[in-house]
Amino acid sequence: MMKKLKLKWKIVLWATAFMIGLFVSYNILQYFVINSWMIHYEEQSVEKKMTTIQNYYSNQKLSSQLIKENETFVKSINEKSETIRILDKEGQSIIAVSEEELLQIPSHLVQNEQFELVKSDDDRLLIYRKPLVSTSFVGTIEIVRNMEIFDGLISQFGFVMFLSGIGAVFLSLMGAFFLSKQIVSPIQDISKTLARIKKFGLEERVNVQPTKDEISELAIHFNELMDQLETSFNQQKQFVENASHELRTPISVLNGNLMMLNRWGKDDMEVLNKSLASSLKEVDRMDKLVKDLLELSRLDSEKTVDIAFPLISPKKIIEKVVSDFEITHPEFDFSFQLYDDTPLAIREGHLEQLLTILIDNSIKYSKDDKRVNIYYRQRKLSVQDFGIGISEENVPHVTDRFYRVEKSRNRKKGGYGIGLSIAQKLMDSYRGSLVIESQLDHGTTVTLQFPRSL
C-alpha cells in the first residue's frame, strides 16, 4: 500500500508518524521522571515529619494516655491531604488526626519502617509506617499522604501535553506538506518536461528554481544534457541536409549528360566525348564527397585516436606528399623547410591526409603568386600560401562542415567545404590544434601543432 502512494504523501506520512512517535515517547518518559521525582520528594517530607514526631515522644515517659493528651501537637503538624495515626500494640488507633474525612485505609503494626503506595478509589496514597518503641510503650506511627494534588497536576499536565502534541503533529503535518512540495514539485516538473519532450520535441526545458540545492542542480544538468542533445541532433540533421544537397548537383549534372547522350550522343562523336568527360568529372567529385563523408562519420564515432603509435619521423612523409603535388601541379613553386625532425606519434596516413588537405587548399585558393611554403619545427607543421586569404569573420567558420567562404565560386573549384573540418577533427582526436592565420588578398598560413606523445 505504501509503495503505491505518491512521494508527496509518503513524506507527509512518514514525517507525521515520526512526530507522533516522538511525542508519545517523550511524554511517557516525562511522566515517569516527574512521577518518581514527586514520590521521592513526598517520601523525604514524610520521613522528616516522622522524625519530628519520634523526637517529640522520645524524651517522655510514653503511654497511650500521654499520647492522647498530646493530640494537639500532632494536630499542629498535620497538613492538608494527610492523616497521622498512632497505634497501640493491639493495632487500635490511639489518635487519628486528619484535616480530611478520616481515611478508611486499614492500619496495621510493623516491626520495621516501611513505605507503601496504595490505590483507594481514585486516589493514590503514600503510607509510611514506623514502630514507636520505648520501655513503657510499643506501637506504630502511621503517616498517610494523599497524592491527589500531585495527580491532579499530572493529569492537567498531561492534558496540556496532549493539546500541544496535537498542535505539534499539525505543525509537522504542515511542515511535511511544505517540504514535500519543495521536493516533489521540481521532480514533477522534470517528469512533465520529459513527457512534453516525448510529445513535442527537444526544445522543451525544465524551469530551474533559484535555489542552489541538489534538485535545482539536477534540473540544470538535465537542461544542459538536453541542450547537448538538441545541438547534436540539429548537427546531424544539418549534416544529412548538406550531404544530400551536395549530392544533388552532381546527380543532376549526370542525369543531364545521360539524357543528352541518349538523344544525340549515339551518332554525334563530339557530344559523346563531351558528355562522357563531364560525367566522369562529376563521378569523381561524388567519389571524393562520399569518401570524405565516410571519413567524417568514422572520425565522429571514434572520439579519440589511440595515441600509442610508434613515433615516426615526419620528414619522409612530408617530402613524399610535396613531391606528389609538384608532379600534379608543375605551375606551383613548393618549398619545404625542415628545421628539425622531431618525431610525431601519429599514423602515417593521417599525417599525409592532413598535409594534403592544407596544400590542396593553398593551390585552390591561390592567385598570381603561386608559391606554397611548408615548414616543420618542433611538432609544428605550417603551410603558407599567398592566395586570396580568408576574411577575419570567416576564419572561425572554415573548419565547420560544408562551410565555404564563397559558395558559388568554390563549387567551380571543386570544394565541398569538408577538407578543413576533417583536418580539425583529426587534430582534435590527436589532442593537437589547428591555427589559421590569414589576411584577405595576401595569403593564409595554417599551422598544425601536435602534442608531445603520451
Tell me the angle at which helices 419-429 and 348-364 cross, rounded to the nearest 10 degrees. 150
**What is the residue-wise DSSP string for 392-441?**
TTTGGGTTSTT--SSHHHHHHTT--S-HHHHHHHHHHHTT-EEEEEEETT
- Partner from ligand ATP, Mg ion, none contacting 356, C-beta within 5 to 8 A by type: none
Considering the complex, what minimum distance in angstroms separates the CB of residue 232 from Mg ion? Answer: 24
Residue 304: which of 432, 435, 448, 446 has the closest Cα?
A: 432
Nearer to ligand ATP, 165 or 419 (CB): 419
Eight-class DSSP state of 449: E
Considering the complex, what minimum distance in angstroms separates the CB of residue 364 from Mg ion? Answer: 6
Using CA atoms of 199, 205, 206, 207 in order, give the dihedral in degrees to the nearest 10: -130
Considering the complex, what minimum distance in angstroms separates the CB of residue 402 from ligand ATP? Answer: 8
Nearer to ligand ATP, 79 or 284 (CB): 284
Nearer to ligand ATP, 193 or 421 (CB): 421
Nearer to ligand ATP, 209 or 356 (CB): 356
Nearer to ligand ATP, 84 or 388 (CB): 388
Nearer to Mg ion, 361 or 384 (CB): 361
CA 197 to chain CA centroid, Å, is 21
The whole-angstrom separation of Cα 96 and Cα 138 is 17
Residues that bind Mg ion (CB under 5 A): 361, 419
Q: Which amino acid is at 127?
A: I
- Partner from ligand ATP, Mg ion, none contacting 185, C-beta within 5 to 8 A by type: none
The whole-angstrom separation of Cα 433 and Cα 448 is 6
Considering the complex, what minimum distance in angstroms separates the CB of residue 428 from ligand ATP? Answer: 15
Considering the complex, what minimum distance in angstroms separates the CB of residue 329 from ligand ATP? Answer: 14
**What is the residue-wise DSSP string for 221-245?**
HHHHHHHHHHHHHHHHHHHHHHHHH
The whole-angstrom separation of Cα 297 and Cα 309 is 22
Report strand pairing: 371-377 vs 333-338.
parallel
Nearer to Mg ion, 229 or 440 (CB): 440
- Partner from Mg ion, ligand ATP, none contacting 385, C-beta within 5 to 8 A by type: ligand ATP
Residues that bind ligand ATP (CB under 6 A): 361-362, 364-365, 385, 387-390, 398, 403-405, 410, 415-421, 444
Considering the complex, what minimum distance in angstroms separates the CB of residue 410 from ligand ATP? Answer: 4
Considering the complex, what minimum distance in angstroms separates the CB of residue 374 from ligand ATP? Answer: 13
Q: Which residue has the cell 551518332?
A: 267
Residue 141: which of 78, 50, 56, 76 has the closest Cα?
A: 50
